[in-house]
Structure 1
Amino acid sequence: MAETKTLVLNHKQIEQKITRIAYEIYERNLSEEGVVFAGIAGMGYRLAKMLSDKLKEISPLPVELMEVKLDKNAVVQGEVTLSADLNLGNKSLILVDDVQNTGKTLAYALKPFLEMPLKKMEIAVLVNRSHKLFPVTPDYTGFELSTTLNEHIEVDLESAQNTVHLH
């Protein structure tokens, strides 16, 4: 039996969500010296890149981008590393992932930043499934989606037609 997929967000809707989130980030960070997007490896990094590009387009804020590398299947045992060593002192850090399920990946992705002097940290996700098991709540959410834990969200931000499917 073929697995059925339900289109949740199409390319145009994803673009709209990214634009809206970028404007919200700009509004909340007007007085900051800059914004650093830290995207979780995979689709989180791709989303961070899209958000950083949009923020550069709509604002004069200095924008930087880094990747947070971790094994999503072994976040407890695995090491969390950053692709860049940036000065985050008076900048706003925004941790980005494509989907928040339980908050576990985002919670472990915070680890390297807890040892750095930060002025402010926020979290942005494209889809929040609201199955919160860890005390992590996104500041910016593109789409809230109530699902069962058995259902799977598939985010594709690499093809010409970006999509989000539920199956």
Structure 2
Amino acid sequence: MSEVLNHEQIKKKITRMAYEIYERNLNSKAVVLAGISGMGMTLADLLAKELQAISPLKVEEVEVILDKSNLAEAEVKLSKNIDLQGKTLLIVDDVLNTGKTLAYAMKPFLDIELYKMEVAVLVNRSHGLFPIRPDYTGYELSTTFNEHIRVDFSTENNYSVHLH
């Protein structure tokens, strides 16, 4: 197992992503960060804090709850009701592998009149089996299907990304 990103590198990537989100959403009424359960929600929290520190944008958060092991049959729910009318929705996950999880995470938002929908990921593995491309990427990493990326946000001052 080898470290791909250390704590300082991850913090810098999150800051850069937040500035990009701010720059591209100056005219948005609000930005709603929809974090996918687990590390996606943790990344959404970190991005929200950074966005609030650097911009006057109204930032809201919601968790997208889904069963990653049974995407086709499981219900996709939101942690709370949230008004998304005319707002920018940013679906957030830690790693983009094939795009399948992100495609299913969009389900609850398809019938809502959004200003726009975007995708943010910390690591993009570029295995596009589904037509999902991130608008904001912390790190591009070409890997084989046999390799795995593990993002660890469990210790507040020791975030890491490992390849194994």
Q: TM-score, normalised by structure 1?
A: 0.96
1:163 aligns with: 160
CA distance in 1, matches of 2:62, 2:107: 15
1:75 to 52, 62, 71: 71
Give the superposition deviation at 1:115: 1.7
Which residues in structure 2 correspond to 1:128-139 (within 5 Å)?
128-139=124-135
Give the superposition deviation at 1:158: 2.0
Supply the RMSD in Å over aligned alpha carbons. 0.6
Which residues in structure 2 correspond to 1:44-59 (within 5 Å)?
44-59=40-55
> Partner of 2:13: helix, strand, or coil?
helix
Which residues in structure 2 correspond to 1:107-146 (within 5 Å)?
107-146=103-142
Aligned residue type for 2:10: I
Give the superposition deviation at 1:86: 1.1
CA distance in 2, matches of 1:7, 1:158: 15
Q: Name stretches of at least 5 consecutive residues in structure 1 with no aligned partner.
A: none
Aligned residue type for 2:54: I
CA distance in 2, matches of 1:106, 1:79: 14
Aligned residue type for 2:4: V
> Partner of 1:138: helix, strand, or coil?
coil
1:84 aligns with: 80
Instruction: Percent identity, please.
Output: 62
- Does residue 37 (structure 1) correspond to residue 63 (structure 2)? The answer is no
Give the superposition deviation at 1:38: 0.1
Q: Could you list the per-position Cα deviations for residues 101-149 of structure 1 after superposition, in whole angstroms to 9, with x for gaps in the alignment?
A: 0000000000010022211100000000000000111000000001000
CA distance in 2, matches of 1:163, 1:129: 16
CA distance in 1, matches of 2:154, 2:110: 31
Which structure 1 residue ranges, 4+ long, deviate > 6 Å from structure 2? none
